Amino acid sequence: MSQDGGLLAPVRAGTRAEAITSDAAWLRAMLEAEAALARAQARLGLISSEAAAAIDRTARTLVLDPAELARRSRQSASPVVPLVADLRRAAPGTAEHVHRGATSQDILDSAAMLVATRAVRAIVGDLSAIMRDLAELAERHRDTVMAARTLGQQAVPTTFGLKAAQWLAGLMRARARLRDLRLPAQLGGAAGTLAAIEDRAPGLAPALVEVYAEELGLAAPLAPWHAERSPVTDLGAALVGTARALGKPATDIVLMAQTEVGEVAESSAGGSSAMPQKRNPALSVLIRSAALQVPAYTQVLGQVGEHERAAGAWQAEWLPLREALRLTGGAAETGAELVAGLRVFPGRMRANAGLTGGRLVAERLYAHLDKEALARVLGEDDAGVRQDLLDPGAYLGAARELVDRILATYREQ
């Protein structure tokens, strides 16, 4: 696993997600998985409690260099092999009990689910903060008239409150999907049969899986999932949905903050190296970049592998999974900063809604005017047309009610 600090990925540089998914964090999670396996076996009487305590103590204090471990793992295609060797050397008298009944994929998959669980928890926290601020924006701007835009052009009137509420609705769905994830531990032994455990303690293998998962704070799987990668693909899909839900307000804000539009502005400095007059929507740009990258990374996750253990497909998941977690987490943390500092200019929204005169409500006028009068309005001549028909604020449909419905659902959650 790389030591890169995110020079080319500023959206996640210095964020909690980056720290949670660092090389050191993955290494620590693998050691936690080994320690949990020993504790679980001790609870079922498969090894002594003293041996489990010694392995646990050693795993907690063992210091390894991730880069050096990665180099040594080239001989086995797995960092778990040299890690287990080091753990056994560091735990004298208990070496025979280290990694007993497990295989490398058990430890790395369990560690991946531990890391992912922690990253998802941080993402959910940031989403909750964003949603709270969006709910306030939606309520405050429930009646703030602006032009809705379809295919990049002004369409009919809407409210900024509804736009913010729609952003909120997307994040509500994304957060619910993340919360519904039940990331499982992995324990199957050499080929997913748990044979090494069953041979030593007939009938105890299923119980050991349950206790092992409990020790890790992960879900207990129905069966080993070495080659059945639904947990990883489900996680990837939830991350894609979250990144896209974050990318939607970011993309809209980029467009609304354009100089000619000027309906919102970020709190960021948004500096340019060549044009000092510019105030770029930097936070939105970072979030949008993440939203575009996460789907590409997750395409690699859960590829069909051969038989009981994939040769390459599983190994190909490690880096893309970490990057998907990092980018989504970085986008969520950046999104919280973006929404908390967002400045809204209702006057500019109203002015833009009036740029085309009666054209913004042409859909309404079509039902009230004859063809000749409608043609005059579309030609920017609204003389003789009732002014109440031309008011964008009088043609908002159910915008306010939709805001209320979304907010009511948010508050129920």
| Lowest-confidence segment of 135-149, 155-169, 213-227, 363-377 by average pLDDT | 363-377
Structural domain that includes position 164: 16-347
Q: Decide if 1 is inside a domain.
A: no
Which of 76, 267, 272, 405 is the catalytic position?
272
Q: Long-range contacts: 228-231, Cβ < 8 Å, 24+?
A: 229/301, 229/302, 229/303, 229/305, 229/314, 229/317, 230/302, 231/113, 231/183, 231/184
In percent, the amount of the chain with pLDDT more than 70 equals 94
The total number of structural domains in the chain stands at: 1
* Residue 273 falls in the annotated catalytic set: no
Q: Give the model confidence (pLDDT) of 189-245 as tens digits.
A: 999 999 999 999 999 999 999 999 999 999 999 999 999 999 999 999 999 999 999
Report the alpha-carbon distance of residue 270 to residue 276 in Å, rounded.
10
Q: Are 202 and 191 in contact (CB under 8 A)?
A: no
Residue 285 pLDDT: 96
In percent, the amount of the chain with pLDDT more than 90 equals 83
Region of 84 (left: φ > 0; alpha: ψ -120 to 50; beta: rest) is alpha
Q: Decide if 164 is inside a domain.
A: yes
Q: Give the model confidence (pLDDT) of 378-406 as tens digits.
A: 676 666 678 788 899 999 999 999 999 99
Q: Is residue 376's pLDDT more than 80?
A: no
Residue 271 pLDDT: 59
Q: Decide if 355 is inside a domain.
A: no
Q: Which residues pair with 149 in a beta bridge?
A: 154
Q: Decide if 267 is inside a domain.
A: yes
Task: Give just the sign of the alpha carbon dihedral 397, 400, 406, 412.
Answer: negative
Q: Give the model confidence (pLDDT) of 48-102 as tens digits.
A: 999 999 999 999 999 999 999 999 999 999 999 999 999 999 988 899 999 999 9
Which of 309, 350, 376, 400 is the catalytic position?
309
Q: Give the model confidence (pLDDT) of 273-325 as tens digits.
A: 555 555 789 999 999 999 999 999 999 999 998 999 999 999 999 999 999 99
Helix (H) or strand (E) holding 343: strand 343-344
Q: Decide if 359 is inside a domain.
A: no
Confidence band (pLDDT; 50, 70, 90) for 7? confident
Residue 381 pLDDT: 66
* Residue 48 falls in the annotated catalytic set: no
> E strands within 129-236?
145-150, 153-159
- Count CB neighbours of 404 within 10 A: 16
Q: Give the model confidence (pLDDT) of 108-148 as tens digits.
A: 999 999 999 999 999 999 999 999 999 999 999 999 999 99
The CATH number given to whatever domain includes residue 261 is 1.20.200.10
Mean pLDDT value across residues 9-33: 95
Mean pLDDT over the full length of the chain: 93
Q: Decide if 393 is inside a domain.
A: no
Q: What are phi and psi of 291, to 5 degrees?
A: -60, -30
Residue 364 pLDDT: 86
- Count CB neighbours of 200 within 10 A: 13
Q: Decide if 44 is inside a domain.
A: yes
Q: Decide if 392 is inside a domain.
A: no
Report the alpha-carbon distance of residue 399 to residue 406 in Å, rounded.
11
Report the alpha-carbon distance of residue 345 to residue 217 in Å, rounded.
47
